[in-house]
Chain A
Amino acid sequence: MSADASPTSHKHTLVAWLEDKPGVLNRVVGLFRRRNFNIESLTVGHSETPGISRLTFVVDGDDHMVEQAVKQLYKLVNVTRVENITNKRAIKRELALIRVKVDAQTRAEVMQIVDIYRAQIVDVSMDSVVIQAVGAEERVDSLIELLDNYPILEMVRTGAVAMTRGHAGRNGNGSAKRKVSL
């Protein structure tokens, strides 16, 4: 018997529910750092349950590393649930704001590209436009590749947020209160 041989690494999308307590994000990020997990992107915000935040993160690694990431996250007292949705049917979206250099000649071209990608122009100035794009990561990648020809002056991407399709998700606050006698 031996440890897992390292197969090719690939991207995994995971969702974690966190109690909204001081320092909790630091605990999660600190765990990733000290366990040497390679984080591609990480987003956090409110969930449907007050007091519970929802974290979506994408890690690059082999299955063994991701299994460890999930198990180690569970050990954090403020993490209530972790789910690996990589192989599940899920909606994954990210938002990008992209400032592109334009002039009188290229403005129309850029607007056309924006239309094709069902993105939006949300700010216009004499020499640039700001484009808001929402979509799957690959779609945003492909838009960025095209826009970079003009070129892109400034960009921010949120990283992916994700939710499984179909059945209603159980919230992250599911496990029962534990009673302990004194």
Chain B
Amino acid sequence: MKLTGAQIIWEALLREGVDVVFGMPGGAILPAYDALAQYPQIHHVLVRHEQGAAHMADGYARVADKVGVCIATSGPAATNLVTGLATAMMDSVPVVAITGQVPTSLLGNDAFQETDVTGVTQPVTKHNYLVTDVNDLAQVMREAFYIAREGRPGPVLVDICKDVQIASTDFVYPDEVSLPGYNPWHGLDMDAVEEAAALINKARRPLIIAGHGVMMGRAVNELRELVEKAEIPVTNTLLGLGSIPETHPLALGMCGMHGEAHTNLAIQECDVLIAVGMRFDDRVTGKLDEFAPKAKIIHLELDPAEVGKNVKPDVALIGDCKESLQALLSKVEPARHLEWIQQINEWRSEGEERDILRAELDELIPPYVMRQLWHSTKGECIVATDVGQHQMWEAQYFIHERPRQLLTSGGLGTMGYALPAAIGAQMAAPDSLVWAVVGDGGFQMTIQEMATVMQENLPIKIAIINNGFLGMVRQWQQLFYEKRYTGTPMLNPDFVKLADAYGMAARTVKRKDEVADALAEANAYDGPFLIDFQVEEEVNVYPMVAPGAAVGDLIRRPQIVQGPSGVKPAW
């Protein structure tokens, strides 16, 4: 069958099970867009900025558990993808990006809209390709999906010269890939399994840190079995939230820089630490030399390069964490750790006493909004968060129960992620309720995708936690730069009017007693809905481990001292 390069792109996507792509056309990708008309099975979501396309593919991939696809033209369009690719790279999300490139005859010529896209994206992709011969295209597409998906997932970019899209060749989609340099699967070391099981069986104060890898490795059930069989409390990294229901009695919630005190104290006091599918990011470990000082560390991880990169484990189980957990389960004895759990629960209740939600406050504070969001949806929704204070409050006060429920840029910390990621999530799960939780800062970085929401008629709900500041930066300025608020106060547009201009229903919430009603209205509304929560300006996220401090050495949540009536409390 003779096909053009443009047709081969779409034929390949069909064979990879793709039914939606996010993108924007332009000169060098026009032949591909022209051929798209012949493929009604593939829905194209027109974005307003290519960064949005990359985040949408990322959000789609995280929810659908499939490879997300974005498509853009050459030059500025391709460079606009970079932030989204870097985000996917840091969080190991399978994305394939397709970009048009100037014709091969003009390569290296500084042609109009030419950028060295494979050069630019090399550090932020798992792999990339420049296709200069139509006869290579099918093989490259096959490999791109294979590499994006297999092993530790990640983004792969395929840059396709315009003349390659126009040229024709016999189309055969290869059955197999031949990648002698890529073998991401490792056989399990049974001696290490024995060693790890022995450590766990001897442990008196064991602790699990479960990360994103648990969900990507589809090992949620195995994790829960291990937790229950050996009665091991489990804390999560930010991206690991949802790998165990937070309502589980042994689930402790998120650890690290803004983890509750009991999670970080448990890390510092445990005698065996089992890290599953996580990479000891500095936001989790704090000061490395003082991290988990009393613990033997067991690291279950697929990517060998992550083992020993930051924390040197005593035992490493390199491989698929589902297999590793299954192997461990057969060797781990049932156990009870009453005293240890009692100790953690004591720490936990100390923390709960300081919970800001226990203070009788009239002011509208973000933790209250987050908890109400959980109540109003009964936890039955997908939440995409942006980056900053609201992201941490969501992690603390929304109660995550299942995998692929929380989408957030954990590694790169990309502001502007939430709205496009929510669009991708809604495309992947059309019947689910999807909330984008954003700050007033990050929202304005990809705010133009409201038009995409409207054009696609997606019933996405948007909650703006609007405090008139780049809030997390302001918090750092308050705590570490003597309250010099340089560059953090924001003069914002009227978000409700803006929503109106886009044709989106919206309302403002300024008082605590309006929150439940507004959330109920949004949840019930048949279509997209935006709520501008105008919250107290200078509320901080606590607890906090100062950058560079040991995780046990944390700034506790202050006791709220109510001033005389009319005077605001000190947060």
Whether B289 sits at the interface, judged by CB under 8 Å, is yes
Whether B331 sits at the interface, judged by CB under 8 Å, is no
In contact, A72 and B305 (Cβ under 8 angstroms)? yes
Contact pattern, A 65-92, Cβ under 8 Å of B = 1, otherwise 0 = 0011001101111111100000000000
Contact pattern, A 15-31, Cβ under 8 Å of B = 1, otherwise 0 = 00011001100110010
Quick one: which of B15, B122, B288 contacts A2, CB cutoff 8 A? B288
Question: A2 to chain B: which residues have CB within 8 Å?
Answer: 288-291, 293, 311-312
Whether B558 sits at the interface, judged by CB under 8 Å, is no
Quick one: which of B130, B183, B288, B305 contacts A3, CB cutoff 8 A? B288
CB contact under 8 A between A178 and B179, given known A3-B312, A75-B303: yes
Main secondary structure of the interface of B (DSSP, over half): loop
In contact, A182 and B310 (Cβ under 8 angstroms)? no
Whether A177 sits at the interface, judged by CB under 8 Å, is yes
Contact pattern, B 49-90, Cβ under 8 Å of A = 1, otherwise 0 = 000000000000000000000000000000000000000000
In angstroms, Cα B123 to Cα A75, docked, is 12
Quick one: which of A26, A81, A180 contacts B122, CB cutoff 8 A? A26
Whether B147 sits at the interface, judged by CB under 8 Å, is yes
Whether A8 sits at the interface, judged by CB under 8 Å, is no
Question: A165 to chain B: which residues have CB within 8 Å?
Answer: none
Q: How many residues of B contact A (CB 8 A)?
A: 41
In contact, A19 and B181 (Cβ under 8 angstroms)? yes
In angstroms, Cα B122 to Cα A30, docked, is 8
In angstroms, Cα B303 to Cα A34, docked, is 18
Closest chain B CB from A21 CB (angstroms) = 9
In angstroms, Cα B181 to Cα A175, docked, is 7
In angstroms, Cα B303 to Cα A178, docked, is 18
| In the complex, chain B residues 457-474 whose Cβ is within 8 Å of any chain A Cβ | none
Quick one: which of B147, B290, B297, B303 contacts A77, CB cutoff 8 A? B147
Whether A154 sits at the interface, judged by CB under 8 Å, is no
Closest chain B CB from A27 CB (angstroms) = 6
| Stretch of B170-178, B345-353, B414-422, B498-506 lying at the A interface | B170-178
Question: A74 to chain B: which residues have CB within 8 Å?
Answer: 304-305
In contact, B312 and A177 (Cβ under 8 angstroms)? no
Chain A, residue nearest B178 (CB): A177
In contact, A175 and B291 (Cβ under 8 angstroms)? no
Whether A132 sits at the interface, judged by CB under 8 Å, is no
In angstroms, Cα B425 to Cα A67, docked, is 38
Whether A125 sits at the interface, judged by CB under 8 Å, is no
CB contact under 8 A between A77 and B181, given known A1-B296, A180-B176: yes
Closest chain A CB from B111 CB (angstroms) = 19
Question: B183 to chain A: which residues have CB within 8 Å?
Answer: 175-176, 178
Closest chain B CB from A177 CB (angstroms) = 5
Whether A170 sits at the interface, judged by CB under 8 Å, is no
Whether A4 sits at the interface, judged by CB under 8 Å, is yes
Classify chain A: how many residues form its interface, as a range.
35 or more
Question: B288 to chain A: which residues have CB within 8 Å?
Answer: 2-3
Chain B, residue nearest A181 (CB): B175
Question: A3 to chain B: which residues have CB within 8 Å?
Answer: 288-289, 310-312
Whether A173 sits at the interface, judged by CB under 8 Å, is yes
Closest chain A CB from B189 CB (angstroms) = 16
Contact pattern, B 117-142, Cβ under 8 Å of A = 1, otherwise 0 = 01100110011001000000000000
Quick one: which of A4, A18, A175, A176 contacts B308, CB cutoff 8 A? A4
Whether A139 sits at the interface, judged by CB under 8 Å, is no
| In the complex, chain A residues 10-48 whose Cβ is within 8 Å of any chain B Cβ | 18-19, 22-23, 26-27, 30, 34
Whether B295 sits at the interface, judged by CB under 8 Å, is yes
Whether A167 sits at the interface, judged by CB under 8 Å, is no
Chain A, residue nearest B147 (CB): A77
Whether B146 sits at the interface, judged by CB under 8 Å, is yes
| In the complex, chain B residues 380-418 whose Cβ is within 8 Å of any chain A Cβ | none
In angstroms, Cα B296 to Cα A2, docked, is 10
Whether A118 sits at the interface, judged by CB under 8 Å, is no
Closest chain B CB from A110 CB (angstroms) = 45
Closest chain B CB from A9 CB (angstroms) = 17
Question: B311 to chain A: which residues have CB within 8 Å?
Answer: 1-3
Quick one: which of A67, A80, A180 contacts B146, CB cutoff 8 A? A180
CB contact under 8 A between A26 and B119, given known A19-B181, A173-B180, A180-B146: yes
Closest chain A CB from B406 CB (angstroms) = 27
Chain A, residue nearest B150 (CB): A180
In contact, A182 and B175 (Cβ under 8 angstroms)? yes
In angstroms, Cα B295 to Cα A181, docked, is 43
In angstroms, Cα B305 to Cα A79, docked, is 15
Question: B296 to chain A: which residues have CB within 8 Å?
Answer: 1
Question: B305 to chain A: which residues have CB within 8 Å?
Answer: 68, 71-72, 74-75
In angstroms, Cα B292 to Cα A64, docked, is 20
Question: A175 to chain B: which residues have CB within 8 Å?
Answer: 180-181, 183
In contact, A27 and B122 (Cβ under 8 angstroms)? yes
In contact, B122 and A1 (Cβ under 8 angstroms)? no
In contact, A1 and B177 (Cβ under 8 angstroms)? no
In angstroms, Cα B182 to Cα A79, docked, is 8
In angstroms, Cα B180 to Cα A174, docked, is 7
Closest chain B CB from A78 CB (angstroms) = 5
In angstroms, Cα B130 to Cα A26, docked, is 14
| In the complex, chain A residues 140-182 whose Cβ is within 8 Å of any chain B Cβ | 173-182
In angstroms, Cα B15 to Cα A68, docked, is 37
Q: List 11 A-B contacts (CB under 8 A).
A: A2-B289, A2-B291, A4-B312, A19-B181, A77-B127, A81-B181, A175-B183, A178-B183, A179-B175, A179-B176, A182-B175
A contact residues vs B (CB 8 Å cutoff): 1-4, 18-19, 22-23, 26-27, 30, 34, 64, 67-68, 71-72, 74-81, 173-182
